[in-house]
Structure formats: C-alpha cells, structure tokens
Structure 1
Amino acid sequence: MVEPNLLQIMQTYQRSFADKVYQEENDDVDLLMDAFGLSSETKRENRQYWGRELGMCWQLMVDNVMKVYGRDYQPALRIGADEPCDMIISRYAIDTKYRLGSGDSGTLKKLRQYGSLLTEMGYEPVCLLAREDSLNQALAALQTGGWKVFSGQDAFDFIRYQTGYDLKAYLKAQKGKFLVNRPG
C-alpha cells in the first residue's frame, strides 16, 4: 500500500514548512538605489529584475573604473561558454555581484569551481558585492572556492585601494539624479 508512504511524505513536509524561518525583510537602501530613486517597495515588486539590472549596473561601473585606473586591466576571462570573472586587475580575478541571493546548488557549485580554477591559473579570486545582505550559504560557497569576498564598504575600499578612485563618493553625489519615473 502506498498511502503510508504518502502520509509520511506529507508529514515530513508539514514539519519542514512549519519550521521554516524567513529572514527578516531587508529594507536597506544602497547607493545605486539612491541614485535611481528606487525604494525597497519598488524593488520588492520584482526582486529578480531589480537585482539583475542593478547588478549589471554595478558590474559596468566597477569595470569602467578598473579599466581607466586599474593596473594591468584585462576584460572578462572567457573559457568556452563560461566567464569565471568579470575582469582582471594585476593578480586579482574580480567578479562583481549586486548581492548573492541564490542558494541554488548549481550556482553555488559553479562559484566554488570558478574560484578553484582561477586560483589554479595563478589569480587571486575576489568578489565585490555592492550590498551586505547576501545569503550566508552563498558566501560560504565563495569562500570554500577560495574567493576573497568584499561587501558594501569593504568593496568600495578595495576599489579605491586598487584604483585611487572613490566610487562611493561618486555614487553618493548621484543621489536622486537619475530618478526612475515609471508609469502607473
């Protein structure tokens, strides 16, 4: 009879759902959000969209600062269809992320593999996170893969140390200058 097994599955998931603890909603506004006049409420409307777009904005800004001011700049490293880092400065293989919000096992495995690969190639893998509210599981995967992780202020400090350019001051000065006026 299958019902006892089905009942056990249902009970297991009932306990799992009841025990699930959600992280408190993070309403912190960051410098990119300030520049575009984005509220936490707007970002919550479609977290995936805003995270992806703000992440690409962060990547392009960091890449441009590194390209202009960084030592021995090289663009994103491509290995087949993979891109294990966004840029290389001196001995650092740098990847940029707005934040790490995925605990997906495939994503975490790839982060670990990329870090190991970059280390084998003689680079020091560095991840620059714009925000400080990344998932602990994702941060642990990065560190297991040999990545040095710099979040928030530490990321801005790393950029300034490598380039002499104060990207944080630039972004602060842009507050409200690129307001997003959406219909509706």
Structure 2
Amino acid sequence: MDKDLQTTLATILSQYQNSFINKVYVDENEDYDILMNVFSLTPDMKRENRQYWGRELGMCWQLIVTRICQYTCDNFQPALKIDNDEPCDLIVGQYAIDTKYRIGSGDSGTLKKFRYYGNLLSNRGYIPTLLILRNDNLPAAIQACISGRWNILTGTASLDFIQQISGFDIKFFLESNAGKYAVRSNT
C-alpha cells in the first residue's frame, strides 16, 4: 500500500477513534415526563420502540398544543404552508410556533431545516418559537435552532408559555390526567 494513502487512512481512523472515545454516552434515560404520565408509559416501554414512541408522543403534543390555541386564542392561525413545507405547526399572533416532544436528531438535513425555517419565519415578521416538551434534547440541534433565530422553550417553560398565550393551564390539565389513559405493554 502506498505510504501516503496508508498515513491518510490511519489519520482518518485515528480521528474517528478519538471522536468515538470522546462521545458522551448518556445512560439509559430513566426520566418520565408529564405526557408519559398521562399514558402511564415507562422508560422501559418507550425503549421497546424509541422511534415509534417519539413520533407518536410528538404528534400527540402537537395536536394538544394546536387544539388548545385553536380553542382559546382569537389570533390563532393554522400551520403556515410554503410550497410543500410547513415551517411551523401553528401561529398565535406574532408567534410562529413549532412543537416538538424532543429534539434528538442531529443529522445535517434536520439542522439545516431548523436554521432555514427559523430565518424564513423571522424574515416574514414572526417570532419563531419552538415548544419542546422534554429537556433532554440534543445540544447540536438546539444550537442549530438558536442559529436559526428560534426562541426555544423546553419543559416547564413551554408549558408556561402555552398558559401565557392561551390562558389554559396545560400543566394542570396533563397532571390531572396522569394515568387516565394508561397503555399496557404487550410483553
């Protein structure tokens, strides 16, 4: 093998080795959240199919926030559509709101989209506002949102914001429904 090629390949492998060594591995997440409690979901149940639960809880969160604002906010507008895209889930007054259960994807396409949509909404006169239910989000994705001019609210701050704009105490509502829609594991 050519010595330069060997050195180049060794450098690549060494860089990835260091990257893998330096990667922070979070122990299995044992955190519950207010929406999981409504369905009596445990972290173990979510781990059975992370992608499914993340997607479904995200859609549930989006629908809950959208319906609350639709029913309580006079200045509610549905999702903004630009071509085939929806850069936000709903608009309330000056706030272009996108809801996320959790941001766990750091792939470049997702990060570019966050940056692009935030700037697009800002340029149209809106305040891009990201309401994320969970607090355990990927830092790279949060940074991409910040660079895209998103106002990011996570956990309790997102619940407080919803109450501020709608007058509806979503935290009380979800807490008072804890366990009322229990899901049982099939295992």
Structure 1's consecutive aligned runs of 4 or more residues displaced over 4 angstroms after TM superposition are none
Partner of 1:160: 163
SS of equivalent residue, structure 1 residue 83 = coil
Map 1:39-118 to 2 at 5 A.
39-118=42-121
Alignment-derived partner of residue 22 in structure 2: 19
Inter-CA distance 173–116: structure 2 relative to 1 (3 Å threshold): same
**More deviation, 118-127/12-21:** 12-21
Query: How far apart are residue 181 of structure 1 and its match?
Result: 2.1
Following the alignment from structure 1 to structure 2, what is the Cα–Cα distance between the partners of residues 61 and 50?
Answer: 16
TM-score (normalised: structure 1): 0.94
Secondary structure of residue in 1 paired with 2:19 = helix
How many angstroms apart in 2 are the aligned matches of 1:170 and 1:70? 17
For 1:70-120, what per-residue CA distance to the aligned partner results, in whole angstroms no more than 9, with x for missing partners?
A: 131110111111110000001110000001111111101110110110011
Q: Count matched residues.
A: 184
Aligned-partner Cα distance in 2 for 1:78–1:5: 47
After superposition, the C-alpha distances for 1:130-157 in whole angstroms (9 at most, x for unaligned) are 1111111111111111111111111111
2:9 is matched by which residue type in structure 1? L
Give the letter aligned to residue 148 of structure 2.
G
Identical-residue share of aligned pairs (%): 50
Equivalent-residue separation in structure 2 for 1:154 and 1:20 (angstroms): 29
- Per-residue deviation, 1:166: 0.5
Question: Which runs of no fewer than 5 residues in structure 1 stay unpaired?
Answer: none
Q: Of 162, 165, 184, which aligns to 1:181?
A: 184
Shift of 1:3: 4.1
Distance 2:45 2:177 in 1: 19
The answer as to 2:152 corresponding to 1:149 is: yes
**Distance in 1 (alpha carbons) for counterparts of 2:15 and 2:143:** 27
TM-score, normalising length from structure 2? 0.92
Secondary structure of the 1:162 match is helix
Unaligned runs of 5+ in 2: none
* RMSD of equivalent CA atoms: 1.4
1:139 is matched with which residue? 142
Q: Residues of 2 paired with 1:77 and 1:25: CA distance?
A: 37
Higher fraction of strand: 1
Q: Distance in 2 between matches of 1:41 and 1:81?
A: 37
SS of residue in 1 equivalent to 2:128: strand
